[in-house]
């Protein structure tokens, strides 16, 4: 009888350890998300299931062209691409990104032009929410890859870095779209 009790205790202990480890991993390291909507097409599709890596931004700032998940409000998280960093001036003219007056190539858009037409309407940072001349410290400027159908910094303004959940790492479902996300 004592052996049976020890066996049950071992199973309960193993189960509790697994639950604690899962909680730690999900809270501090990785979390699953489901893409909702077409704003990141063709890079990400509606209903893609992904893993978000929470770890990198605990120690470093987001980099240009990282695909990030952030809290848009209390109920909703958005997934977008970081375009501008703190202290930079952003402008688009004739489908060209200008950062501090210098044209910047967006390779991910060029590679996807065969899938969809990517058009970014002309704007300067001063014309958008907040009327900033540069992106404030502690904020980033984000855009969806599907520029004609995206609620992003053009409507929301710069995004506080402390609202970023993590970096999109990998699409794991549907299986035929399995891939690591990068520039």
Active site residues: 39, 80
| Burial (CB count <10 Å: 0-12, 13-18, 19+), residue 58 | exposed
The rounded distance, in Å, linking the Cα atoms of 83 and 64 is 5
Q: Enumerate the β-bridge partners of residue 81.
A: 67, 143
The rounded distance, in Å, linking the Cα atoms of 37 and 2 is 56
Q: Which two tokens stand for residue 124?
A: 């300067």
The closest alpha carbon to 124, from 145, 98, 163, belongs to 98
> 110-128 in b/e burial notation, b at 16+ Cβ within 10 A?
eebeeebebebeeeebeeb
């Amino acid at each position: 009888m004592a052996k049976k009790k020890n066996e049950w205790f071992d199973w309960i202990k193993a189960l509790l350890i697994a639950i604690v480890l899962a909680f730690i991993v999900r809270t501090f390291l990785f979390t699953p998300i489901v893409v909702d909507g077409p704003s990141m097409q063709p890079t990400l599709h509606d209903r893609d299931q992904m893993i978000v890596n929470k770890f990198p931004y605990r120690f470093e700032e987001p980099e240009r062209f990282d695909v990030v998940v952030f809290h848009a409000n209390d109920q909703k998280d958005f997934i977008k691409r970081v375009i501008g960093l703190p202290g930079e001036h952003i402008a688009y003219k004739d489908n060209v990104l200008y950062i501090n007056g210098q044209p910047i190539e967006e390779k991910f858009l060029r590679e996807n032009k065969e899938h969809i037409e990517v058009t970014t309407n002309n704007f300067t940072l001063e014309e958008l929410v907040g009327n900033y001349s540069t992106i404030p410290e502690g904020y980033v400027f984000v855009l969806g890859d599907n520029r004609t159908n995206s609620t992003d910094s053009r409507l929301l303004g710069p995004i506080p870095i402390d609202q970023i959940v993590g970096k999109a790492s990998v699409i794991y479902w549907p299986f035929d779209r399995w891939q690591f996300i990068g520039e």
